[in-house]
Chain A
Amino acid sequence: MTDPQRLSQGDQRRLLARLRARDETALGELYDALAPWVVGLAFRILQDDDEAEEVLGDVFLQIWTRIEQHDPRRGPLVPWILRISRNRSLDLVRRRQRWWARADRAGMNRLLEAEEAPEPGEAGVPGWPVHREVHAALAALPEEQRTVVQHAYFGGLSHSEIARRTGMPLGTVKTRLRLGQQRLEQLLAHVKDWWE
């Protein structure tokens, strides 16, 4: 199997071409590289292992059957897949009512765990360096900006919903979200794709 961490942009284009050509081994390679991140993101949003794995199945089904919808000119493959994962997870959240109780148990305000030493083998997961970059960028935000960004991204909440749940004025939520996104763009501008 190809080592995803060593894939160049050219390798990535070839992987994409193989997916478009219905090469099943390419899908397997993509699964090995991305499945832990898809499940991690889905679990963060859903707080449920079974549902996170359900999202994983849906995401790979969509990748395989809708790969032609990915436009390389609009961005790399990984953010596209992360976007599918997030949207699918939020769809599930919106369909069930018990999420907030579960999220409260998990502690919405501690969605960003403290950076801990990687568990054995974790740092070898493909994409780990990018994870460190994004985690650090999010952690670098002022807490009030980070809170609204997390509610918006992981909770899929609208501005008014964030204002209601956090008790912030609506204008403050919008301002903090805008500032947070601008800061993240600056901090992550050098990230083109996780294989680099």
Chain B
Amino acid sequence: MTDWLGMAVRPRAPRPDLKQRVMARAIAAGQVRRPRIPLGVAASLLLLSLSVAAVFGGSEVLRLRRERDALAARLAGTRDTLDFLRRPGSRVYQIAFETAGRPGTLTIIADSATHRWLVACHHMTPNAPGEAYQVWFLTEAGPVSALVMPMRDPGPMIAAIPMPAARVVGAAMSVEPEGGSPEMRGPTIFKQRLDS
């Protein structure tokens, strides 16, 4: 209601020549105004922006989810490794060998509680194409395949593998076809008895 109070004052006529200047100034300012975007176009642009944001946002969510899953898997592996070391029944074996003249090591942590081996290989020469290293449990009943490791780069390899039902008395590694072999046929890298 106080908006009407301006009418309480008496009118005051502006100078007659002022109208032309006031009008010209206002109209000139109106002409340089930024053109307005039609509502439909603005809505379409907004929708497009939201769609693009949703696509990028969605892909970012997927990327972060994959990263989270990978980290969770690494954490679980690390915990599993620690469990191997912490359990009182664990025994550690280290086997030295050479692949193509390069010295490497295979570390086995045998966990009698879970009946598993944790195998860590270091400094192994990459396989020739079509070949893979294969680790064997040597049991009283003969060799049983434990792990097939196609090595394409010289980095370390760590894996947890279940032990067979038969009593394990040693470990061996051979070079076999890439898909693995049911029997030890290829060149032997090492064959070692493990003290129980």
Contacts and interface: CB of A to CB of B under 8 A. Distances in A.
Interface of A: 22, 24, 27-28, 31-32, 35-37, 39-41, 43-44, 52-53, 56-57, 60-61, 63-65, 75, 78-80, 82-83, 85-86, 112-113, 122, 125, 127-128, 130-131, 133-135, 137-138, 149, 153, 181, 184-185, 188-189, 191, 194
Contacts of B30: 22, 64-65
Contact of B10 (A86, A131, A149): A131
Given A79-B3, A83-B3, A53 B26 contact: no
Contacts of A135: 7-8
A39 B4 contact: no
B27 A27 contact: yes
Interface residues of B, number: 26
B6 A82 contact: yes
A27 B18 CA distance: 14
Contact of A40 (B9, B22, B27): B9
A22 B33 CA distance: 12
B2 A64 contact: no
A14 B22 CA distance: 22
B82 interface: no
Interface in B1-37: 1-15, 18-19, 21-23, 25-27, 29-30, 33
Contacts of B11: 36-37, 39-40, 122, 125, 127-128, 131
Q: By DSSP majority rule, is chain A's interface helix, strand, loop, or mixed?
A: helix
Contacts of B4: 79, 82, 130, 134, 188, 191
Contact of B2 (A113, A181, A194): A181
B15 A53 contact: yes
Contacts of A149: 2, 5
A133 B1 CA distance: 13
B5 A31 contact: no
Given A31-B19, A181-B1, A41 B9 contact: yes
Given A36-B12, A131-B11, A184-B2, A27 B29 contact: no
Contact of B5 (A53, A61, A80, A134): A134
Contacts of A130: 4, 7
A61 B26 contact: yes
A2 B9 CA distance: 24
A79 B3 CA distance: 5
A185 B2 CA distance: 8
